[in-house]
Structure 1
């Protein structure tokens, strides 16, 4: 994969993130909404001239803003509609596509899966690179821009559908001890849009064709932050027979479940170098 362009990333780490900031906001957080939570977030009465749909949007927005506040992120008022659309269209997981791949091999030890080797075909991805003050702010603001693209701010003018994983790219120095402030957030376009990808209204988002790649991937659970990601990078590097074939200064973290979940499902990805 071209290391200079947008590449794949669900959560990654850069900058100093303390224990109180280990979570982050992503599209997956919308799954955590429940009727009880939404009811508690509002007063149960409509303001003058307000419709039920507007009230629901307001409750979702306020819930999102409360979560964001703990991550030093501001969620603007114009996120109300994208948040509601994602909530409405993603009530279950059955309608979510997964990025297609072919499993090439698996390495196991004593019945435990150590890592998988996969082949990913080329495809269109929408990606944006953020350079906020902290890594977590970059991820949050990047996801909000991707959310707007998925929800109508595209050349088709309608909801595009979700895919998993949401991926982020993590850059390090050559010694793999310091993370770069540049964070790329990426979304794989569902199959129906691969042939003719809708173009984003936001000029900061680029729709690119990523080439086919061989990927070594190791699953892990829990929060994703600078420490856990570096630990996973080192763990996979030690397991590979020839780490020099794919270890460089760019690594991918793929997120499949709500990052606030205590048993979040993640993967660390290494791309085999050509």
Structure 2
């Protein structure tokens, strides 16, 4: 198992993100951004729409989608390469088809609530295979963006099965902090849960930096939160969950997971912060 990606190893990244970047408000381009994309959005993007009776061939459509996301990405200080055209198109077409997004299964062990608000849930996750890539870009947001694009290529046929593997939720990122939990380490691991049909024999990635890991069974303490995810919000949510846990010392203290369920561009984005119970 790759020690850099395993969420239970308790290790840290090689270097710390500069404090000047902690307040960055740049958003993230993720698989869900691409999956939730629609032709209506494309028509409204300023690239023009087709006249009645006109048709667009596959190459033109791929280019149109690619150019749209390249324009969006520049606002996030991310470059979307030309070879992302096909994965973008495939994610988009499958989102409009019969494919459903499989959720990572778990068993609910308990829940702490107050006045109708969930402080946290205690869950048990079985061991499972995840496709993981560890990225160390200049900023956290850039690491997430580039990591997701490479995972997306894996999902979209750049795998030994040669097939579209299907989307799962949540897409998670594993982060490490310093001992005081004030700063995130630069290395961030992006992880994609393999759909149930691929758990027994996971397709192997063409990208040598993507590793198929079997994460062990784990007990997770999960707290929901909404809005953007960046260095500041992650550190704040770690602190918030630590304050409501009955026994925070039972959890790993420098490795955490951010789980994303909805489009990051959504005004009410749904996320969770996960703490890992010590084994």
User: TM-score over 0.5 for the alignment?
Assistant: yes
Whole-angstrom CA distance in 1 between matches of 2:3 and 2:101: 29
Residue of structure 2 equivalent to 1:155: 160
Question: Can you list the C-alpha shifts for 1:62-108, whole angstroms capped at 9, x where unaligned?
Answer: 11111110111100000000000011112379700000000000011
CA distance 1:45–1:266, shift in 2 (3 Å) = closer
Kindly indicate whether the alpha-carbon contact (under 8 Å) linking 1:237 and 1:247 is maintained by their aligned counterparts in 2: no
Question: 2:81 corresponds to which residue?
Answer: 76
Judge conservation of contact 2:35–2:91 (CA < 8 Å) in 1.
Answer: no
Deviations 1:4-51 (A, max 9, x none): 34145xxxx955154541x100011124423233234535579xxx96
User: Would you say 1:269 and 2:274 are equivalent positions?
Assistant: yes
Distance in 2, matches of 1:93 and 1:258, equals 19
Task: Give the SS at the match of 2:186.
Answer: strand
Q: Distance in 2 between matches of 1:245 and 1:132?
A: 31
Alpha-carbon distance in 1 for matches of 2:203, 2:139: 30
List structure 1 runs of 4+ shifted beyond 6 angstroms: none
**What is the 5 A alignment of 1:117-196?**
117-196=122-201
Unmatched runs of 5 consecutive residues or more in structure 2: 8-15
Separation in 1, partners of 2:78, 2:129: 29
The question of whether the paired residues in 1 share the 8 Å contact of 2:4 and 2:134 is answered with: no
- The count of corresponding residues between Structure 1 and Structure 2 is 265
Mark the runs of 5 or more structure 1 residues left unpaired by the alignment: none
Compared with structure 1, are the counterparts of its residues 3 and 160 closer, same or farther at alpha carbon in structure 2 (3 Å cutoff)? closer
Alignment-derived partner of residue 97 in structure 1? 102
- Structure-1 separation of matches of 2:125 and 2:176: 21
Q: Deviations over 1:149-208 (max 9, x none)?
A: 000100011100010000001110011111100010000000000000000000000001
TM-score (norm 2): 0.89
Aligned residue runs from structure 1 range 1-274, under 5 A: 4-7=3-6, 15=18, 16-18=21-23, 20-21=25-26, 23-40=27-44, 41-44=46-49, 52-91=57-96, 95-274=100-279
Counterparts in 2 of 1:159 and 1:242: CA distance versus 1, 3 Å: same
- Aligned-pair CA distance for 1:242: 0.8
